[in-house]
Amino acid sequence: MSNATLNRVVKEIADEMMERKDRGEVATYISELAGVDVNSFGLVVVDSSGHVAAGGDADATFSIQSISKVFTLTLALGMIGDKLWQRVGREPSGSPFNSIVQLERERGIPRNPFINAGAIAVTDAILSGHQPRETLGEILRFMQFLSGDPSIKIDEAVAASEQRTGFRNIALANYMKSFGVIENPVELTLGVYFHQCAIAMSCRQLALAARFLAHSGRNPSTGFLVVPAERARRINAVMLTCGHYDGSGEFAYRVGLPGKSGVGGGILAIAPGKASIAVWSPGLDANGNSRLGRDALEILSKRMGWSIFGS
């Protein structure tokens, strides 16, 4: 499809979503997220040629929260390779993102890297042998590099809010520590984790940062290889099966693309070989995923014929 067609589709979807009334509820357990305007909506698609189609609040920054887990997983696999899978699984959880129940049954090994326990274990793997500030700086520089935007930063108010209210994450980390899954002091691992979730980005920045996942691990504009093609495929596979917690099956059924959500209302989605996509609408459904974000991606996937399961 032409650039003009993609621009039109994205604008039409953004306009339609801005008119929707049933928008879900913003996350309130993190106080800094509770005040976000539920009427916000942004959508950006970056295609294989580097063309950016944007609609709505495309350049408004928001807390990416669990979307950061895609990028820390990428970093951890780059650092220790498949040894990471000895500490975290690759199976859907079928449980809420902050559940402790499965950890007890499975001796402290999180089901996948996208539930909170799994992401904490991944962060711990990145932290090993480094100082927290150094590790956090590496994560932030990675995001800046991928998006080509050095202005990306951490929202310190959100990070502080998460630290004040992160009791379940503290419990998860201590439980994993008791089984030896967490190697570093719990407070250091959690400090990095809370701050990585508080990275603030716009849909435009996020879609640009994820281009390598849509193009076999390579930025198609620069030719730079971020990860081998096989690793990009595997990250996409985990996104498809686990990226929306216990709503992952519904997302795959309706949208048909690998994706990763965050309770800040963002969703990152990948149309392999075609485009990277970021959408933001802070109202969440019962599973903690953006309600309008999923609807917008379902419409986009259908209109563009991008579902990995066929048009």
Has 253 been labeled as part of a binding site?
no
66 marked as part of a ligand binding site: yes
Q: How does the average pLDDT of the chain come out, rounded? A: 95
Is the Cα dihedral 212, 215, 217, 221 positive or negative?
A: negative
Q: Cα–Cα–Cα angle for 91, 96, 102, nearest 5°?
A: 55
Q: Which of 45, 69, 93, 161 is catalytic?
A: 69
Residue 156 is labelled as binding a ligand: no
Cα(44)–Cα(147) distance, rounded to whole angstroms? 13
Per-residue model confidence (pLDDT) at position 41: 98
Share of the chain above pLDDT 90, in %: 87
Query: What is the reported pLDDT for 102?
Result: 81
- Architecture of the CATH domain 67-198: 3-Layer(aba) Sandwich (3.40)
The answer to whether residue 193 is catalytic is yes
Contact present, 201 and 64 (Cβ < 8 Å): yes
In this predicted structure, what is the pLDDT of residue 141?
97
∠ at Cα 247 (246, 248), nearest 5°?
A: 95
Q: From the candidates 192, 193, 202, 255, which is the catalytic residue?
A: 193
For domain 3-65+201-304, give its CATH number from 3.40.30.10, 3.40.50.300, 3.90.550.10, 3.40.710.10: 3.40.710.10
- Strand segments, DSSP code E, in the chain are 42-47, 52-56, 62-63, 153-154, 199-201, 259-261, 266-271, 275-280
Domain ranges in the chain are 3-65+201-304, 67-198
The span from the CA of 18 to the CA of 183, in Å, is 46
Q: What is the pLDDT of residues 291-300, one digit of tens each?
A: 999 999 999 9
86-144 pLDDT tens trace: 999 999 987 666 677 788 888 899 999 999 999 999 999 999 989 999 999 999 999 99
Any catalytic annotation for residue 69? yes
| Residue 263 bears catalytic tag | yes
Q: What is the pLDDT of residue 97?
A: 67
Is the separation of the CB atoms in 278 and 44 below 8 Å? yes
Tokens representing 35? 């005040």
